[in-house]
Amino acid sequence: MELRRCSAGEAVSSAAVGSAEAVSSEAVGSAVDSSAAVGSAVTGKLRVYLGAAPGVGKTYAMLAEGRRLRDGGLDVVVGLVETYGRRGTEEQLADLPVVPRRRVPYRGIELTELDLDALLARRPALALVDELAHTNVPGSRNPKRWQDVQDLLDAGIDVATTLNIQHLESLNDVVEQITGIVQREKIPDEVVRAADRIELVDLSPDALRTRMAQGDVYAADQVDVALDNYFRAGNLGALRELALLWLADRVEEELADYRARHGIRAPWETKERIVVALNGAPQGEHLIRRGARTATRVHGVLIGVHVRADDGTLQREPPALAGQRVLLRELHGTYVEITGDDVAGALVDFARTESATQILLGPTSRSRLRELVSGSVINRVIRLAGPIDVRVLPPPGPDLLALPRGPRPRRPAFVTARRRRFGWLLGPLGAVAVASALSPLRVSLGPSGALLCLLLVVAGVARLGGLAPAAATTVVSALAADWFFTTPWHSLVVERAADAGVLAVFLVVAGIISHLIDGLARRSQQATRARAEAQALARLAGESVQDGERALPELLEGLRLAFGLFAAGILARDGTGWRPDATAGGPLPGRPQDAAFAAELDPDTVLVLAGPTLSEENTRLLGPFVTQLRLLRELQRVTAQAASAQAIARTDALHTTLLEAVAHDLREPLAGIKASASSLCSDDVDWPPEDVRRFSAIIDAEADRLNRMVANLLDLSRLQAGRVPVTLRPTDVADVLVAAVGSLPLAGAPVVLDLPEGLPPVEADAGLLERALANVLANAQTWSPSGAPVRVDAGAVADRVDVRVVDHGPGIGDRQREHLFEPFHRSRRGAGGRVAGVGLGLTVAKGFTEAMGGELTVESTPGGGTTFVFGLRRAVAASPG
């Protein structure tokens, strides 16, 4: 089976369907090589054009490929195609031969279906059959169209067909959850999996909605309903992702089959597959979590593997393995158990079979002796893995709470264990070898000369392995000198007193030299470590001053690790006691006097360190660091003051803007009220009744306008202070909308409510929701052209209810949308060119909606205008009883 995705660039010609999309002439490629090849096939080949939703261009793509193959000499016939009046599709169908449809009477009307018998009799090389999931009219040969297609394939006829992703049986419930629409026509996944070629005809949600708005998919009277329901941008994005994932899964199956047929064992890094080796050790959970984080970042696959020894014995499962299986399932991983006498070989073979790209191993729990006898599993996995990455993770950090609280001796090792072992091995053997090599010269060298040469050996061992191997080498050297260079020869008996004195002096001098060399080397190492620690601490302190408070935890952690401490932190004065202000590690002393080291940073904070007693050198080293830490605390204090000053400045600016807005916008309604009231109160003019009613209407409208402005100002102040009381309860959207519309001025644009029956209640505060809806409706009235109504519709989608307020005004540009919900934003002008309101209505609406746990977004209305969408949480039905 071959699977391809047709991108937007391959799809539709703009001359044919405007901004629509379909597959180019390369969509099927060599799907049908020649009519002779088709004629000789036992069964026909099936090609499926798969789409995420109606209107992406599947039928157009199928017809375009059929025309290309027809022009190449292939016998292509249209069995059945639904054009739905789409101009581009009809143009592609124009000159292709079509088998007339079969007419089927059903319940007093006549319907048309695919004429399967005529198509079988015609026996074309390729039949084009639209809508594979279609249900046939009762009385047809087969209940489903995909069964008709199967009959054509069995007759040796190739078939090209179309299908939307929502009709696949395995995705039917997921599509219903996303769109809220039940798909009655379903097709088994196996039918589509058996296709020889599947092509995804892909179109972005925005492009498809543009096609819808332009009338290229549905009739004009169906566009608004479709865009507000099934063809929402979120729905289309989710359906597109489903189609891509389903197709990717099929590609993966085909790839695995191809590699098996061709015996390809080397991993192909088409997708990250991470194998975690589990042996039941406690650190397995750490490995699983690390692997899951990596798999999540790269959208990969996580597989946990446990290898059982294949030695014929009954083995108990490690206790931690059951919990690790549960953790794998929680992290969307897979658990696999295999057997093998070679753990490393079985693990690598499994990784190759799964095309793994990474193997995660934990630290070994084997002893050195067992590794020496049985070998290292980790080293063997690394040797066998080849191109597979092998990562050996360190064990998780120790529980610092379990560490001893008392002082711990800190005598840093002067030499490594490896050098010490070499010193113990080479020192005594070297002394014996040198004495033996010099023994032929015993007469000329004498004991003194030989011991001087052996002193070089002792000095070398002291530098290589330290004081202990040098001491042992000194003793062996004295015994070797006695054996080879004092009389009687080859005996440990010393015959002359002078020789005994020389040996004694050698032991003393060799011991002194060994001690001095060891001390000098140790001091050199300490100086090097101190210099490195000083550089590290200086770098940490410098970075902390630059990065401010964010770097404080990293700074304390670096300090703790540099000096091998249990904990490092800052205690702040809290009345008569102390409280931790920042910590790294633990436990932290509760008082400065309980710490191994304490330094005052300012009158109210103290740096405390917990752990072994610090040496004098380390204490001196901490001095400059404490100074830097004091600078950091001072920087934090100044930064906090600056942030407070900025907040005050922003508040002042807001108050200034508010006063300016109030001074300008409140004056106009007050002026209208004052003028109308003064006219009514005037005794100079006897106003006719119609003028009195006009003045009264002006006073009423301007008073309502003034009331809304003041209410919005108060609401904004409550939102900014975080004092909006919210009482959530199941609320009927229709009731709230009726109340919101009733609060609007009568002179505004009419509001049309288009609410479906059975709309579920929402979780909301009725008062806040009414105010939010009223503000948005008033905004829509302001910008709607004369005579154009404001439409309100609603619909349930999964666990929420969307309420849409639609106007057909001038619309909102992309730049204006970024600031649309900001206070005092008034970028557009209403009727007469004046700016309406103080620019707070949308700000308050968004604040109230979010306070109830919903969201308020804005979209462009197809054909021009603006649509505000309230996304509200669906109320949870109360349990009976």
Q: Give CA–CA dist 828/815, Å, rounded.
A: 12
Site of tokens 């519309």? 741
Look at residue 737 and tell me whether its pLDDT is greater than 90: yes
Q: Give CA–CA dist 57/12, Å, rounded.
A: 7
Q: Give CA–CA dist 857/863, Å, rounded.
A: 19
Going by C-alpha positions, the residue among 69, 114, 62 that lies closest to residue 88 is 62
Q: What DSSP element (H or E) covers 16?
A: helix 14-17
Radius of gyration, alpha carbons of the chain: 43
User: Strand (E) positions, 780-854?
Assistant: 790-797, 800-806
pLDDT digits (tens, 9 = 90+) for 281-302: 878 888 998 888 888 877 788 9
Q: Give CA–CA dist 127/152, Å, rounded.
A: 8
pLDDT digits (tens, 9 = 90+) for 111-160: 889 999 999 999 999 999 999 999 998 888 999 999 999 999 999 999 99
Instruction: Give the model's pLDDT for residue 856.
Output: 92
Q: By mean pLDDT, which of 124-138, 533-547, 696-710 is the weakest? A: 533-547
> How does strand 790-797 pair with strand 751-754?
parallel
Cβ(276)–Cβ(379) below 8 Å: no
Best-predicted range by mean pLDDT (20-24, 82-86, 269-273): 82-86
Instruction: Give the model's pLDDT for residue 743.
Output: 79
Number of Cβ atoms within 10 Å of the Cβ of 53: 22
pLDDT digits (tens, 9 = 90+) for 403-427: 333 344 344 455 667 788 888 888 8
Amino acid identity for residue 823 in this structure: P
3-state secondary structure 205-264: HHHHHHHHHCCCCCCHHHHHHHHHCCCCHHHHHHHHHHHHHHHHHHHHHHHHHHHHHCCC
pLDDT digits (tens, 9 = 90+) for 781-799: 888 888 789 999 999 887 8
Q: What DSSP element (H or E) covers 583?
A: strand 577-585
Going by C-alpha positions, the residue among 547, 577, 560, 701 that lies closest to residue 622 is 560
Q: By mean pLDDT, which of 56-60, 356-360, 455-459, 491-495 is the weakest? A: 491-495
pLDDT digits (tens, 9 = 90+) for 658-687: 555 555 556 667 777 877 887 778 777 778
The phi, psi pair for 634, rounded to 5°, reads: -65, -40
Instruction: Give the model's pLDDT for residue 689.
Output: 84
Ramachandran bin of 71, using left for φ above 0, alpha for ψ from -120 to 50, beta for the remaining angles: alpha
pLDDT digits (tens, 9 = 90+) for 309-351: 765 455 667 778 888 888 888 888 888 888 877 888 889 988 8
Q: Give CA–CA dist 776/807, Å, rounded.
A: 10
State the DSSP string of 447-479: HHHHHHHHHHHHHHHHHHH-HHHHHHHHHHHHH
Q: Give CA–CA dist 314/306, Å, rounded.
A: 16
Strand partners, 98: 78
Q: Give CA–CA dist 548/636, Å, rounded.
A: 6
Q: Give CA–CA dist 857/855, Å, rounded.
A: 7
pLDDT band at 722 (very low <50, low <70, confident <90, very high): low
Distance from CA of residue 510 to its chain's centroid?
A: 66
Look at residue 651 and tell me whether its pLDDT is greater than 50: yes
Cβ(302)–Cβ(274) below 8 Å: yes
Cβ(275)–Cβ(295) below 8 Å: no
Strand partners, 2: 197
Q: Give CA–CA dist 312/713, Å, rounded.
A: 81
Exposed (0-12), middle (13-18) or buried (19+): which is 869, by Cβ within 10 Å?
A: middle
Mean pLDDT of the chain: 78
The phi, psi pair for 765, rounded to 5°, reads: -95, 115
Cβ neighbors of 559 (< 8 A, separation 6 or more) are 537, 540, 565, 568, 584, 609, 625
Cβ(216)–Cβ(20) below 8 Å: yes
pLDDT band at 803 (very low <50, low <70, confident <90, very high): very high
Ramachandran bin of 796, using left for φ above 0, alpha for ψ from -120 to 50, beta for the remaining angles: beta
Instruction: Give the model's pLDDT for residue 269.
Output: 52
- How far is CA 385 from each of CA 275, 350, 392, 491, 695, rounded to the nearest angstrom? 12, 11, 13, 59, 91
pTM above 0.75, yes or no: no
pLDDT digits (tens, 9 = 90+) for 178-214: 887 777 888 998 899 889 899 999 888 888 888 877 7
Q: Is 268 helix (H, G, I), strand (E, B) or coil?
A: coil
pLDDT digits (tens, 9 = 90+) for 83-119: 888 888 888 888 899 999 998 888 778 888 999 999 9
Instruction: Give the model's pLDDT for residue 797.
Output: 81
Going by C-alpha positions, the residue among 518, 495, 492, 499 that lies closest to residue 450 is 499
List, in sequence order, the alpha helices (H) in 76-155: 87-93, 116-122, 145-154
